[in-house]
Amino acid sequence: MFCSAEKAWLSQHKIAFTERNIALDEAALQELERLDVFSTPATLVDGQLVVGFNRKRLEELLGIAGASSGQATTS
């Protein structure tokens, strides 16, 4: 549920992202385990990890206050 909401939010703000599905991508799952992350969504923005759909933190990291571009990776 939160993964879908975050993907929709990123798309709404025209933020490019790469989705990594841990159910289908063993390497993505192992990466999260190495980071001691056991919930999703988990999003990396310029090396900063955001666990859960935390709009405020994503806005801060992506500079969203009318911004229309950025890059994120979400699992």
The whole-chain average pLDDT of the chain stands at: 89
Q: What dotted CATH number matches 2-74?
A: 3.40.30.10
Instruction: Grade residue 65 by pLDDT with cuts at 50, 70 and 90.
Output: confident
47 contact partners, CB below 8 Å, separation of at least 6 = none
Q: Measured between alpha carbons, how far is residue 65 from residues 13, 26, 60, 61 in Å?
A: 10, 35, 9, 11
In the chain, domain spans: 2-74
Q: Is 0.85 topped by the overall pTM?
A: no
Cβ atoms 62, 73 nearer than 8 A: no
Confidence check: pLDDT of 2 > 90: no
Confidence check: pLDDT of 61 > 90: yes
